[in-house]
Amino acid sequence: MSAAWWMWLLVLFAGLVGLIALAPINMWVGAAVGAVVAGGTAVALIVSSTGIVITGESLQVGRARIERRFVGEAEAFRGSAVQRVRGPELDARAYMNFRVSVGPVVRIQITDPVDPTPYWLTSTRHPERIVEILSAG
């Protein structure tokens, strides 16, 4: 899942802060530091992005992976329902994968009898599509 467009504004802002902080001393040093700061922030943003991969055999959310035979019902949530499932209804044993820049979530039940995790709750821009794919398989 890639970062929202506005997160890239933060990358630009970080670079500008580096430039402005050192420009009074030396413009070239300020520009170099600004470029390094922006580049480092961009790399951190890219590296921290997670993906959801669904195959016929498995489901992977970030680094977590489970066989499809242990994947139960999936539910999509948007708007105020997201606050409810991420707050008062949240089970502390759940696997959670949230992104500040992505509002909607999908809750995926885990049916493995030896896994204490009742469900996975993850941010996604297309929760209905995830539900559709998991329901079809």
Please report the DSSP string for 40-63 in residue order: HHHHHHHHT---EEE-SSEEEETT
Q: Give the pLDDT score at 32.
A: 94
Q: Which two tokens stand for residue 90?
A: 């949240």
Q: Give the pLDDT score at 24.
A: 92
N-term to C-term CA, the chain = 22
Query: What is the model's pTM?
Result: 0.70
Same domain, 70 and 121: yes
Q: Give the pLDDT score at 116.
A: 92
Same domain, 67 and 130: yes
Q: Give the pLDDT score at 137.
A: 62
Same domain, 61 and 124: yes
Same domain, 14 and 77: no
Same domain, 82 and 120: yes
Please tell me the total count of domains within the chain.
2
Same domain, 33 and 67: no
Q: Give the pLDDT score at 17.
A: 94
| Pairwise CA distance, residues 101 & 47, whole Å | 15
Same domain, 16 and 78: no
Other beta carbons within 10 Å of 108: 22
Coil, strand, or helix at residue 122?
strand
Ramachandran bin of 62, using left for φ above 0, alpha for ψ from -120 to 50, beta for the remaining angles: left
Same domain, 127 and 64: yes
Same domain, 122 and 105: yes
Same domain, 31 and 89: no
Task: Convert the pLDDT of each residue in 39-79 to its tens digit.
Answer: 999 988 777 777 888 888 999 888 889 999 999 999 999 98
Same domain, 42 and 16: yes
Same domain, 80 and 98: yes
Q: What angle do CA 128, 99, 133 make, to 5 degrees?
A: 25
Q: Give the pLDDT score at 31.
A: 93
Ramachandran angles phi, psi of 26, nearest 5°: -160, 125
Q: What mean pLDDT is predicted for residues 17-39?
A: 93
Q: Please check whether residue 112 is in contact with residue 65, taking contact to mean a CB–CB distance below 8 angstroms.
A: no
Full residue range of the structural domain in which residue 60 is found:
52-136
